[in-house]
Amino acid sequence: MTTLPPRALDAGLTGWRGVSPRLVWVEIATALLGAIGGGVLGWFVLLVVPLAWVGQLVLAAVAVTTVIRLVIAPRRVRAIGWILREDDLVVRRGILLSRLVAVPYGRMQLVDVNRGPVARLLGLAELRLVTAAATSEVTLPGLPEAEAAELRDALIARAEERRVGL
């Protein structure tokens, strides 16, 4: 797995494929569930801690964080993309802290498809790639289930072809 500066890999690459726009709904659900958990924590602090401003601060922080997550969710989803090249899979994601990762087919050890409850309701899946490196897990969320299965099979086939020569 290679992590290079975005301009180094992105320059000249065409054919980027994005994820499903329905992933926005998964992001919204995740933000709202986080807001509920943070709200419960804020109310607990408000009731237990004698200084009321601490609980109010927690609730305000949860509210601001939730609004920011909801506002940037569509842009975050549009920033996720992938492309199959001759020797590797390139995955990009992130807005402010962008990440561009190239995973060589011959280094792939595990290609897994996961589906969370909200994603399953929307017909989406997450493709997870693991290589031999300790910090090499790459995920590609928001793929339609059929596309995730096809991509998994294609990656496994390409990985087996590359490992034959080892």
Note the pLDDT tens digit of each residue in 100-134: 988 888 888 889 999 989 899 999 999 999 887 76
Distance CA 52, CA 38 (A): 16
For 19-67, write each residue's pLDDT tens digit. Answer: 999 999 999 999 999 999 999 998 888 888 888 888 889 899 999 999 9
pTM for this model (two decimals): 0.79
- Return the amino acid letter for 66: T
Side-chain-facing half-sphere of 89: CA atoms under 13 Å: 27
Higher pLDDT, 55 or 166: 55
